[in-house]
Amino acid sequence: MSVNIEIKPNEYNPKKMTIPEIAQLMGLKYGYSDNHYCLEENQVGTYTILYDPQKIGRGFEVWYENDSICLRLPLPTTSHDIDIFYKLVEKICNELDVYFFNCEGETVAITDVYANVDNDKNSSMGTIRHIRNNTADDDTKYMILFGALNPVFIGQNECAQIGDELEGFDNFMHRIQSIDAFYATPRFYQREDQSVFGVYFVGENIVTTVPLNPVSPYHKIDSLDSHFVHLPDGNNIPYDDFITNVMLADYYDAGHITVKLSEEMITDLVERFAVHTTTKEKIKGIYWGKTLDHGYWHTSKPEKMGLDIDSINGYNHIAVFLRWAKENNYLSEELISRCPEIMEEKPDYRKLLHEHYAFDRKLRIKHFKEEIQPFARKFYVFGDDGFPVCVDRYAEKVLGSEKYHCEEYKDEAYLFVPYDEEYYKGLSEYIVKAFEDFNN
């Protein structure tokens, strides 16, 4: 069910409003739903969703049809969405200098804009009660409502949280969509034999909402035969193995849980269940552990900030730490076996970091031997007196305080220090000193 409204322009004084301008009338945010009904924020689509970030409900759609502004309010919805929907209709009419609008085929005067508010609220609560009654005989049964940000699966547990007042539905929808979690949806890939598999991506220490049942309820895909979870470093494990072995999972809704995978959890899952997505045969996966630094964090700055410097300079300081570890025999045997090029006399550390699959642009804790890992965890941290702070201190020492703080460098002076032997010698001294302090 829904309420559909059309607002035609004033034929004597026609005005045009963009979707962002319409959203701004009520301080709303906007976006469009992707194929999994998750919101792509700040994007205008064929049908754009508007919602209040202060009280997230189901939102409502707005689009243009010819020269008319059309709006659709889904039912059931929250009492707050109903209130702001009709307030927005009133504001749009005032902006366009029109005194009538069309609601479900009938002409309505702007003075009667709030006439259906109570009916819509009663209808919404009635539907919520219907969902509760319809799921009462089965704890695993649920119905799906598309929220402003993502789908919400409502079963008996959710109905108990909502209670018997529509305000409870308001509070529930806002709370669940305000959870700071990545709502995972599958990507689909086709094998050479034309069979299709879905993949959910889950990262390290990222709160992620994943479905208990990975079969997409929104669209049917021919030849879809399996689902996998993709973990860092290219490791894929069967979805059933993931969902039955993941630890420290929290309830999200009737169809989802939230997980936050630690370094140890990912290592365990990869070592036990990694498979090839084509043959489904078990393989020896590799997980390099905690990310100490990511080249992208630095190489993206020249383009984003308009810095007159080669983006490869973003790897300068990472390459110094890697070289120091190599020259002191602290690289792990696993890394050496997978990236033998690093043992050449003068390897291009920056190029290896950027291009070799064993790094994938990142410096990770298991690139190093176990004996050095505690030091790397403690020293290679952003803030305090960690290695990145030393990188900045060395840059200021080399460039001088005035140039270090100049407008041209935009607080990214460390990228402008020449990458040469002198750079390695000067910056590695900080590592040597920190290592001595750590051991003492």
Total Cβ atoms within 10 A of residue 392: 15
Q: Which residue has the higher pLDDT, 174 or 223?
A: 174
3-state secondary structure 155-191: CHHHHHHHCCCHHHHHHHHHHHHCCCCEECCCEEEEC
Residue 222 predicted with pLDDT over 90: no
The pLDDT of residue 13 is 81
Mean pLDDT of all residues in 169-190? 95
Total Cβ atoms within 10 A of residue 136: 12
Which residue in 64, 83, 73 sits closest to 7, CA to CA?
Answer: 64
Cβ-in-10-Å burial (0-12, 13-18, 19+) of 171 comes to middle
Which residue in 421, 416, 377, 413 sits closest to 392, CA to CA?
Answer: 413
The pLDDT of residue 3 is 95
Domain boundaries, the chain: 2-119, 182-273, 291-439
Residue 178 predicted with pLDDT over 70: yes
The SS3 of residue 358 is: coil
In the structure, what pLDDT confidence band is assigned to residue 218 with cuts at 50, 70 and 90? low
Across the chain, mean pLDDT equals 93
Burial pattern 231-259, b for ≥16 Cβ within 10 A else e, equals bbbebbbbbebbbeebeeeeebbbbbbbb
Total Cβ atoms within 10 A of residue 39: 23
Ramachandran angles phi, psi of 204, nearest 5°: -85, 130
Instruction: List helix spans (H) across 135-262.
Output: 156-162, 166-177, 239-245
The pLDDT of residue 10 is 87
Half-sphere exposure of 214 (CA within 13 A, CB side): 24
The pLDDT of residue 216 is 65
Ramachandran angles phi, psi of 271, nearest 5°: -65, -30
The pLDDT of residue 255 is 93
Residue 96 predicted with pLDDT over 90: yes
User: What percent of the chain is predicted at pLDDT more than 70?
Assistant: 99
CB 73 within 8 A of CB 64: no
Mean pLDDT of all residues in 308-315? 95
The pLDDT of residue 390 is 95
| Separation of first and last alpha carbons in the chain | 70
Cβ-in-10-Å burial (0-12, 13-18, 19+) of 105 comes to exposed
* pLDDT one-digit tens code per residue, 358-381: 998 999 999 999 999 999 999 999
Residue 135 predicted with pLDDT over 90: no
In the structure, what pLDDT confidence band is assigned to residue 225 with cuts at 50, 70 and 90? confident
Which residue in 333, 436, 426 sits closest to 375, CA to CA?
Answer: 436
Has domain 2-119 been given CATH number 3.30.1490? no
- Give the lowest-confidence range in 110-114, 232-236, 296-300: 232-236
The residue assigned the tokens 């002198």 is 422
The pLDDT of residue 322 is 97
Amino acid in position 173? M
Mean pLDDT of all residues in 24-47? 94
The pLDDT of residue 63 is 96
The pLDDT of residue 281 is 92
- Maximum C-alpha span of the chain: 83
CB 319 within 8 A of CB 263: no
Residue 295 predicted with pLDDT over 90: yes
Residue 1 predicted with pLDDT over 90: no
Residue 227 predicted with pLDDT over 60: yes
The SS3 of residue 80 is: helix
Task: Report the C-alpha dihedral over residues 315, 319, 321, 325, rounded to 10 degrees.
Answer: 150
Rounded-to-integer distance, Cα 234 and Cα 146, Å: 32
* pLDDT one-digit tens code per residue, 391-437: 999 999 999 999 999 999 999 999 999 999 999 999 999 999 999 99
Task: Give the dihedral sign, CA 257/262/265/270.
Answer: positive
Instruction: List helix spans (H) across 214-285.
Output: 239-245, 263-273
In the structure, what pLDDT confidence band is assigned to residue 234 with cuts at 50, 70 and 90? confident
In the structure, what pLDDT confidence band is assigned to residue 217 with cuts at 50, 70 and 90? low
The SS3 of residue 32 is: strand
Tokens of 72: 């659709």
